[in-house]
A and B are shown apart, each in its own frame.
Chain A
């Protein structure tokens, strides 16, 4: 192998947001980095809604807005609870979001990831595509010293392996660093991209220029399962999708496709998609177990970032920003150890976890650590009963039919109490507040 026998400073497994953030950060700091991606190109296997949170990327590539392929910046957020025929919404729209450096963008991952990957190469990292890392190579002490791929040839050596391999964490599993992801802590989301002319999107969603709208929805659309639906406006297309916890799918035997079809045909969604042409269909797993599901993150010669570390804030629908941040922080840890010529030992790499604890990533995940369990255990109420009750109350309240308002109020309360006991409701409210704190 000659020139290849010298170990790399770092090998990054995967070219999603976390892997790219890590590879970019290390390469820019002069480390000799090899990144290995199984897809034909970065982004070819990656699926997301997708919303890009500017802040996390800005900390890595401050001038990204000048070059990255972005669709629309989000100026309006709609939060809906839905029953079969209605939605009750809270909308927030502000001209403040039309700022010089907008905060959130809709993106198409196939294009965005390709761009991010080109930046990684520009920064000096070596990137291999269509190559799958099959296992980690360890020395006698158990320290990870390299990787083996599905291509013929000798293993490739490195001082440290950054596992940015995505939600399933197969390499980590195969190498005995972690357990299989449990079906209770991952969601399966399916989405479609619907083409619509720019003008139609702008007229339909009340937008000008590159303004965009995001709709997040929960309720009976998930048929009693723990999950949410979404609809995002892109430049010339709409991303629409829905996802639920995998174990719920298994329990109910509802297929994701059925769920998406029903969501698309919901009277509140259908007119938004009218006349569109479905261009692509994608599905992906999302780690939603939160804080409690985070696996071991570091060991001798290895470090875990992004979805592989279960870094998703399900409550706020944030993931790619946590991915980029963990990738960056891991990279900074490796860079500082490399500079100090220190060992990539378990003890030294644990510095990553310490640094992560200071960021929003760990703080947010800790804050919501009780939420995934709570929602999942009470899914019948949170994703069925309550959305239905809210809709009925709204309808009673807004329908003008000669019945006096006091009677209406009473009927609303009666309806709530008959469906769910007062104690039950208070209990759910109490638990939700406690989990939220």
Chain B
């Protein structure tokens, strides 16, 4: 069994700062991490390794420094790391990224065997689009299972997988044929701590590095900025709210307290009262 996990090296959003003068994001010196959602995906893959002896390949597209993230993935117990890097990929949006990754995945399939499951996180914390996973599935003609909270059962003999998908309005239990692409939700599992042996292997491992040509990309207009119809119009830091929360102190029973609170809100913002009354009137007509 071969499982591939697509990960992305992202700036640690907890440590990103906005330049107070130019209002641009200061990337210099900001530590990078593996996109947190991808770690849930990786752990799920490692569980398949524990259970079925699956080989786990981690794949990323990014600058040469993204090899750090791959190496870290190896410390958790992944078997192989592949870095797709080329200056032609710079500035890729989700369309260009899913194109490049799907090409790399075809090459992975050729070199190391076709993956039964491709995992991604549900989205990245720097792009937040949740489009790359589905984009890859579509291009590779894999079934896609998005927003997966849990893998219920994998039946290799029947070639099926049963999962729980968190959806609006409830939990869906879905079954799909393999191969499949799964995007994992947060907090669906907890990343393990790799053994000392894993850490040593990771420190020694060679990261397989491919450029655009190596994965058979001939049409470079599909890559990077040129292949990206998305345009970033503006990046800005939301201004902190200056108005402070007010505490309304009222005694009495719950109903009376609620009434007093509503009273206080209406007194502060008469328009809210007006709107609500209008809505109510409309509703009861």
Taking Cβ atoms with an 8 Å cutoff, the residues of A that contact B are 1, 4, 34, 40-41, 44, 108, 110-111, 126-128, 130-131, 149, 151-154, 156, 195, 197, 277, 279
Q: Which 9 A-B pairs have the closest CB atoms?
A: A153-B196, A151-B196, A152-B195, A153-B195, A126-B203, A128-B199, A153-B197, A197-B21, A277-B20
Give Cα A127–Cα B75 distance, bound, in whole angstroms. Answer: 12
Q: How far is the CB of A416 from chain B (nearest CB, A)?
A: 47
Taking Cβ atoms with an 8 Å cutoff, the residues of B that contact A are 17, 20-21, 29, 31, 75, 193-200, 203-204
Give Cα A56–Cα B277 distance, bound, in whole angstroms. Answer: 76
Name the one of A110, A128, A152 contacting B200, with C-beta atoms under 8 angstroms. Answer: A128
A128 and B203 within 8 A (CB): yes
Identity of the chain B residue whose Cβ is nearest the Cβ of A2 in the assembled complex: B197
Residues of chain B lying within 8 A (CB to CB) of residue A127: 203
Name the one of B17, B75, B194, B198 contacting A279, with C-beta atoms under 8 angstroms. Answer: B17
Residues of chain A lying within 8 A (CB to CB) of residue B31: 40-41, 44, 110
B197 and A131 within 8 A (CB): no
Given the known inter-chain contacts A130-B75, A277-B20, please indicate yes or no for A1 contacting B29, CB distance below 8 A.
Answer: no
Give Cα A108–Cα B29 distance, bound, in whole angstroms. Answer: 9
Identity of the chain A residue whose Cβ is nearest the Cβ of B200 in the assembled complex: A4
24 A–B contact pairs at CB < 8 A? A4-B197, A4-B200, A40-B31, A41-B31, A110-B31, A126-B200, A126-B203, A126-B204, A127-B203, A128-B199, A128-B200, A128-B203, A131-B196, A151-B194, A152-B193, A153-B195, A153-B196, A154-B196, A154-B197, A156-B200, A195-B20, A197-B21, A277-B20, A279-B17
Q: How far is the CB of B146 from chain A (nearest CB, A)?
A: 30
A149 and B200 within 8 A (CB): no
Residues of chain B lying within 8 A (CB to CB) of residue A44: 31
A131 and B20 within 8 A (CB): no
Total inter-chain residue pairs, C-beta < 8 Å: 44
Q: How far is the CB of A280 from chain B (nearest CB, A)?
A: 9
Give Cα A130–Cα B196 distance, bound, in whole angstroms. Answer: 11
Q: How far is the CB of A109 from chain B (nearest CB, A)?
A: 11
A151 and B195 within 8 A (CB): yes
Give Cα A178–Cα B196 distance, bound, in whole angstroms. Answer: 27
Name the one of B20, B29, B198 contacting A111, with C-beta atoms under 8 angstroms. Answer: B29
Residues of chain A lying within 8 A (CB to CB) of residue B194: 151
Give Cα A427–Cα B268 distance, bound, in whole angstroms. Answer: 71
Residues of chain B lying within 8 A (CB to CB) of residue A195: 17, 20
A156 and B75 within 8 A (CB): no
Give Cα A152–Cα B17 distance, bound, in whole angstroms. Answer: 37
Identity of the chain A residue whose Cβ is nearest the Cβ of B196 in the assembled complex: A153
Q: How far is the CB of B180 from chain A (nearest CB, A)?
A: 32
Q: How far is the CB of B15 from chain A (nearest CB, A)?
A: 9
Residues of chain B lying within 8 A (CB to CB) of residue A111: 29
Identity of the chain B residue whose Cβ is nearest the Cβ of A44 in the assembled complex: B31
Name the one of A108, A152, A197 contacting B196, with C-beta atoms under 8 angstroms. Answer: A152
7 additional A-B pairs beyond A41-B31, A156-B196, beta carbons within 8 Å, are A4-B200, A44-B31, A128-B199, A151-B195, A152-B193, A154-B196, A277-B20
Residues of chain A lying within 8 A (CB to CB) of residue B199: 128, 131, 151
Identity of the chain A residue whose Cβ is nearest the Cβ of B204 in the assembled complex: A126
Most central of B75, B196, B197 by chain A CB within 10 Å: B196
Q: How far is the CB of A46 from chain B (nearest CB, A)?
A: 13
Residues of chain A lying within 8 A (CB to CB) of residue B200: 4, 34, 126, 128, 156
Q: How far is the CB of B190 from chain A (nearest CB, A)?
A: 16
